[in-house]
Amino acid sequence: MYKLFWAPGTAAMAPQAVLEEIGAAYEMVKLDIAAREHEQAEYKKLNPNGRIPTLVDGDFVIFETAAICQYLSDRHPEANLAPPLGSHARGRHYQWLTFMTNTVQVAFIDWFHPDWTFADAGQQAALKGAAEEKLYRAFQVLDDGIGSHRWVTGEQFTTCDIYLTMLARWSRFLARPMWQGRNIRRVVGATHIRPAFQRMMQKQGIAWAENWPQA
Ligand SMILES: N[C@@H](CCC(=O)N[C@@H](CS)C(=O)NCC(=O)O)C(=O)O
């Protein structure tokens, strides 16, 4: 039985949706962000960064959202959530998963939490503005990369589609949400209505983006 340390609407959305796609048994351990539970020593033994999420699999502990998603899809190949090892599609899968975590997600963190980098309000505003521009450039790269493919990595649904959909939900606060890109909109539109994604949102007590464009 897996154990997922989570908080609503955080990066725990992706691994939980992956667990739901797989149909694996898991226990949810909720962290109270307002009470800074993720910064307490007990949790930091699992995740020394004090960030959410963390997955525990028996006596194995893994953090970093993209790594957890990949680990789970590798542990459950029958769920077909990653292209075959060594294939070009697998290479594409790594490309987008890495881009989403080390470029897009990092820019989101600067946008949501400029105070984590600067104490000064002017510097915070400058960082937030720069992060927003970075996000728009990255959204364009993703939208162009998806092109006419059905899913992010090609014709197979993978954890990248789940990751993209988590990021898209965060982008609802931006002046130009991620789904202004028509290819992103198509993939996110097909992913957020999947039963697994819906179950994840229901279990986290969160709703889909209120400003999602209605058809
Ligand atoms: N690179 C990490 C980043 C995780 C991260 O920053 N998670 C946020 C939630 S989305 C967090 O822990 N926030 C703590 C806070 O807001 O104090 C990952 O992908 O797991």
The domains located in the chain, with CATH, are 2-79 (3.40.30.10), 88-194 (1.20.1050.10)
5-18 residue pLDDT tens: 999 999 999 999 99
Burial class (CB in 10 A: 0-12, 13-18, 19+), 135: buried
Token readout for 49 is 């960064």
In angstroms, what is the C-alpha Rg of the chain? 17
Please identify every stretch of the chain with a pLDDT value under 70, giving residue numbers as ranges: 215
CB 142 within 8 A of CB 164: yes
Check pocket membership of 37 for ligand 1, CB cut-off 6 A: no
From the list 158, 163, 113, the residue with the least C-alpha distance to 138 is: 163
Check pocket membership of 51 for ligand 1, CB cut-off 6 A: yes
* Torsion sign across C-alpha atoms 214, 150, 205, 23: positive
CB 196 within 8 A of CB 20: yes
Closest ligand 1 atom to residue 64 Cα is: 20
What integer pLDDT is reported at residue 214 of this predicted model? Answer: 83
What integer pLDDT is reported at residue 66 of this predicted model? Answer: 98
Check pocket membership of 101 for ligand 1, CB cut-off 6 A: yes
What integer pLDDT is reported at residue 183 of this predicted model? Answer: 98
Distance (Å) from CA 51 to ligand 1 centroid: 4
113-128 residue pLDDT tens: 999 999 999 999 999 9
What integer pLDDT is reported at residue 43 of this predicted model? Answer: 98
Ligand 1: which of 32, 39, 51, 169 to mutate, most ligand atoms within 8 Å of CB? 51
Distance (Å) from CA 53 to ligand 1 centroid: 7
What integer pLDDT is reported at residue 115 of this predicted model? Answer: 97
Residue 145: CB atoms within 10 Å: 16
In angstroms, rounded to a whole number, what is the distance separating the alpha carbons of residues 100 and 207? 22
Can you name the residues that pair with 5 across neighbouring β-strands? 29, 54
129-160 residue pLDDT tens: 999 999 999 999 999 999 999 999 999 999 99
Distance (Å) from CA 11 to ligand 1 centroid: 6
Whole-prediction pTM: 0.98
